[in-house]
A and B are shown apart, each in its own frame.
Chain A
Amino acid sequence: MKALDKNNAGQQRASRSQPPHLILFVVGNEPNSLQARQNMEHLFESIDGPVEYEIIDVLENFQTALSYNILATPALVRVYPAPQLTILGNMSDTKRILMLLDCQEPAR
């Protein structure tokens, strides 16, 4: 897996006032959720610059999940930058996720 052009991405991010804010919704220790956690860690190796990242376990905190309209899990919500978008899955498609997180619009 290759990371995207780090310099360009880094400049883009530096020009934003805030670091990206991501929330990963998981459900306990079920396989997809464990995979997702791992894959996200892996993904962060390809991102430089600060990222605001939190993991929410729906079993422990369902209220927040509700407020983000989470139905299927695992789900990664990009809260910032706008627009908010939700990606479903165990995040195995790291390349795609990086693209999605770096763009303003979801890639098609």
Chain B
Amino acid sequence: MSQHGHPKHFSNPDRIRSIPKVLTHIHGLDEILEGGLPEGQITAVVGGPGAGKTVIGLEFAYRSALDGEPCIFASFEERAPELRRNALAMGWDLQRLEDTGKLFLIDSRPGPDVIRAGEYNLNGLLAILEGKSEAMHARRLVIDSMDVILRIFEDPIRQQDQLYQLTEWLNKKAISAVLTARMISEANEFTSHRFLEFAADCLIKMDARVDGQIATRRLRVAKYRGSSFGSNEYPYIISQGGLFLLPISTMGLKHAALREPLSSGSPEIDEILGGGYRRASSILVTGGAGTGKTTLLSTFAETACRRGEKVLFVNFEESAEAMMSAMASINIDLAPFLRAGSLQMITAMPESMGAEKHFFHVFQVIEKFAPDHVLVDAVSATLRMGSPQAAFEYLMRLVNICKERGITSLMSNQGNGNAINMKPISNLGISSLVDALLLMQYVRKDAEIGRLLLIVKSRGMAHSNQYHEFKITDQGIVLLGPFEGRGHPGSDLNGEAI
């Protein structure tokens, strides 16, 4: 592990030899860039106010310095003391790196009024950068932002001309540079910003916007000369530790293998599962309201905790107390494990924060707590976090994170109960994401309601293909045997076909 907390190597065995790149170590960014920023070339980061241009530039400088790569951060937007303070809030100690000569902050805030008396140019700045980069052996540079520099020149032609001088110098010295700039206004036909976008070898656009009443941020690589790249918009957040991107592109490459069967908590269910849930697999339990999904999850949680393992329970449906008292009434006692700390619960209404923020919160807990298993009740609630796309991505990322770490994920989904008709999420293909799929539903049996459990699929396990009837008693779930009655599987509580 590098000191950035990510695996040290970016491995992409199928990648054809491409241009040399420098890793940014910014979470998720190197995947999208397929190896990092272009070495010795110019990357432009363009975005509106609050999008995070300064953060991404500063993080690149910080992590370069941390890696032993001297970097200059030329700040024309904030003063150095302010930068250091803001960095500290993210856990970055800039001063220490400055003291060891790995990082140098230039802070220059030219006054608002430029007094002009004749011709001038950027040679002074270039001379300063030259002198400092030679003295430090710095091959990396961040300028935040170009707008401030260009503002001191009066007309667009002058600005472009000076921009050209700068880019020429950067290329000559083979410096890996990140230049930030504000988003161009669409009104201007050919402004200096357009020129910057043209001159840059790699162009990253950052956008802070409101999507369905929820504030969200999206990053997009608009171009990358000489390299392929993830071309979608990727959500990101800015939090402790810096920028945090959530790319989907490399999922599946680093998944841990499925391991030994684990008990579900009920020996009879284990049997129809063909042994149990496989460790490090992803399991989805789908069913209508009240069919017993939470019970199934809690049964597993209790058994796992009893084995001495750690469980993280993400609860979108109700408070920890409400859930645990409901479970306690059917003899599933989770309270001691919660007290002991081997069970952690995250409860949050999905409406309270956007999908990315919530996911990041869960991710942080997973990193810190390192659970053996992650339970989610119910993933369908993520639909209330924004769009169906956001919900699907949340799920994808969660399953991915768990699989990368060999964590078993057991998730419930509130659906209408018909295995073939998992509308809320399966339209987006979730059932192909998971290793095992269980269905719980009601069945009308003459004068009463029964419950059925069906193992729809379970990769690598010789599972039962039959519907099994079960009851929820004060001792938890009790299987009653294969369903042989004359009821109609697939009916909901009202007896309607689903």
Contacts and interface: CB of A to CB of B under 8 A. Distances in A.
Interface stretch (B109-117, B375-383, B390-398): B109-117
A71 B117 contact: no
Contacts of B212: none
B239 interface: no
A71 B128 CA distance: 8
Interface in B97-124: 106, 108-111, 113-124
Contact of A106 (B110, B113, B132): B113
A62 B119 contact: no
Nearest to A69: B108
A97 B117 CA distance: 7
A46 interface: no
Interface string B324-342: 0000000000000000000
B419 interface: no
A65 B109 contact: no
Contact of B117 (A25, A28, A92): A92
A58 B116 CA distance: 19
Contact of A69 (B110, B115, B116): B110
A86 B115 CA distance: 7
B149 interface: yes
A30 B76 CA distance: 25
Contacts of A106: 113, 115
A59 B121 contact: no
Contacts of A90: 117-120
A69 B120 contact: no
Q: Is the interface of A mostly helix, strand, loop or mixed?
A: mixed
Given A69-B108, A90-B119, A59 B127 contact: yes
A97 to B, nearest CB: 5
Given A58-B124, A106-B113, A35 B118 contact: yes
A28 to B, nearest CB: 8
A14 interface: no
Contacts of A100: 115, 117
Contact of B119 (A25, A35, A87): A35
A73 B115 CA distance: 12
Contact of B118 (A62, A85, A91): A91
Nearest to B131: A62
Nearest to A36: B118
Among A69, A76, A88, the one with the most B-chain Cβ atoms within 10 Å of its Cβ is A88
B117 A96 contact: yes
B110 A71 contact: yes
A39 B283 CA distance: 80
B177 interface: no
Contacts of A92: 117-119
A63 B136 CA distance: 13
Contact of A88 (B106, B117, B128): B117
B159 to A, nearest CB: 12
A89 B122 contact: no
Nearest to B113: A106
A73 B303 CA distance: 73
B123 A30 contact: yes
| Shortest 4 CB-CB contacts between residues of A and residues of B | A89-B118, A73-B124, A62-B131, A90-B118
20 contacts: A32-B123, A33-B123, A35-B119, A59-B131, A62-B127, A65-B127, A65-B128, A71-B76, A71-B128, A73-B121, A73-B123, A85-B111, A87-B117, A88-B114, A88-B116, A88-B118, A88-B152, A89-B120, A90-B119, A93-B116
Interface of A: 25, 27-28, 30, 32-33, 35-36, 39, 58-59, 62-63, 65-66, 69-76, 85-93, 96-97, 100, 106
